[in-house]
Structure 1
């Protein structure tokens, strides 16, 4: 089947099966254009609970599809490629969280949603890059175990009076670790009128030279609302495609052309078609883990309303 035929074939299958496609901002442009809803982790988690659908195809990485499965036990959640696994999420197994809780029994556990379900089942509440500061500051506890992203933990630390203990000690996103102050300063020199938008998964050194620290959804909002006409985007390049498409009168420069998440890019239009056609691969989370992890996720959604 040709690439040109796939959007129509996918559309027909969606109608036949009462299905929707959710896609993260880091997906390739054809998938972004085919998705019913495009967004960040928090936006897609919320959207999944509002859908009157039987099937949800999740074009994102494993932990995102797990979130949708936990929040929607009555829906069949599919991920087009099981190799779309977030390396950072794998850095925090549930056992590491349990051990940290034993060592810091009075601390609250706040886990980034970029964490697998079995670890999130050990959390008091989850958060996203968009609401991490809000979630931490809403808690009564003065000590917070925060994982798995060390750089996001640093960002929270700058915006709270609470003690933040990162778990693991050095969890990270390999894409956001690629960005360097030197690359951004060079771009800024060449484009002095550009605003620098930096994702909080980037290193503290990069965050310090940002004009604004933003999640992907916050970058979209800032770009829409700002008077600036040019932006240096310091996150995965997939977001640049969306920004250029939705705001054609503004200019968007990726901080690094090589800032690509290989796992996000496992999904293709062909795989989405096959996923819908064959109803594969079903995302399943055990009832016990789902129940505990759901509580932490629902508490996040309540705090961040």
Structure 2
């Protein structure tokens, strides 16, 4: 790795020892275990940097545990905007750090490894959106927050998985809508709203798309008393509703929820066991929120390699070197900010992705 000790004159012997263990490989920075010494140094370095550490629900457990705030991307970006600290260290994927920068243009925003991308955000580019808009003049563009800053800048109004139905319902019935980029969330919104003039981009999160209906049905059959928490990005969301409609699973046990919605439901459910269809990092927060409930992944291989690039080594390096800083040009940020603010102005800012 590149060591920039001049950027951090407050390094201790423990910090230097940990830095010496860092290895940079194709899967990200490794070599450091997220133990007590590491956690103590991370918190100390954050104070020295006047930084707050934000961690998405899909992050490694040790990253979630050391963070000042844990949540979904939009909630964390709004926390960043209100935080008194001048530096935001966003432990998530790149579009999330961009969103924080869009809402906090005056602050320094760091992502511990700039290589942490997102297959869903990458499923539509700004040029592709421009072409799609040209094919549907006058259509309203609704973009999931899981998009790049450039796409948000071409968007009329953003949405989250928890408020997508409300956002679409707020648009005049006779206006065509271009919904992007997630096809499964779009199908869920179309099903709930009955909107015929909703055009859906064929994008997907590779992790959520990989949680299929056959797996869900098999798990539901083998755990007949469990609740089902299903993220609307999942390829199995339709299957979950089908199981409920056919009576294979009681309808009140099937819940299509955002990550924030899952946490709320975990605190109020009467079930003793819950099957969870989303990225496996979510299990850590669910188990903390409701430790008496047995939370099990529908697919225990549903792990995002990009989320997991934010390792203990990467976070330590970011705090020492002030790396990797996220930049969004002022014009793009201003336009993107408008699309997020329009969503918030409808009265339901949502629970994030």
State the TM bucket, normalised to the shorter chain. Answer: over 0.9
TM-score of the aligned structures, taking structure 2 as reference length? 0.83
What are the within-5 Å matches in structure 2 for residues 147-186 of structure 1?
A: 147-162=180-195, 163-167=197-201, 170-186=202-218
Q: Which secondary structure state, in structure 1, belongs to the residue aligned with residue 179 of structure 2?
A: strand
Whole-Å separation in 1 of the counterparts to 2:318 and 2:165: 36
Q: Which secondary structure state, in structure 2, belongs to the residue aligned with residue 293 of structure 1?
A: helix
TM-superposed CA distance for 1:176, in Å, is 0.8
Whole-Å separation in 1 of the counterparts to 2:240 and 2:205: 14
The aligned counterpart of 2:278 is 235
Report the RMSD for the aligned CA atoms in angstroms: 1.4
The match for 2:142 among 103, 107, 110 is 110
The aligned counterpart of 2:316 is 273
Deviates more, 1:63-72 or 1:90-99: 90-99
Q: Which secondary structure state, in structure 1, belongs to the residue aligned with residue 121 of structure 2?
A: helix
Q: Which secondary structure state, in structure 1, belongs to the residue aligned with residue 120 of structure 2?
A: helix
Answering whether residue 177 of structure 2 is matched by residue 134 of structure 1, we say no
Whole-Å separation in 1 of the counterparts to 2:58 and 2:240: 20
The aligned counterpart of 2:179 is 146
Answering whether residue 125 of structure 2 is matched by residue 82 of structure 1, we say no
Answering whether residue 130 of structure 2 is matched by residue 98 of structure 1, we say yes
The aligned counterpart of 1:11 is 43
**Preserved CA contact (<8 Å) 1:6 1:270:** no
TM-superposed CA distance for 1:45, in Å, is 2.2
Whole-Å separation in 1 of the counterparts to 2:151 and 2:210: 26
TM-superposed CA distance for 1:214, in Å, is 0.4
TM-superposed CA distance for 1:42, in Å, is 2.3
TM-superposed CA distance for 1:229, in Å, is 1.4
Whole-Å separation in 1 of the counterparts to 2:78 and 2:172: 25
Task: Name which one, 1 or 2, has greater alpha-carbon Rg.
Answer: 2
Question: Which string of whole-angstrom CA distances, capped at 9 and with x for unpartnered residues, describes residues 46-68 of structure 1?
Answer: 21211111110000111100000
TM-score of the aligned structures, taking structure 1 as reference length? 0.96
Deviates more, 1:274-283 or 1:202-211: 202-211
**Preserved CA contact (<8 Å) 2:267 2:289:** no
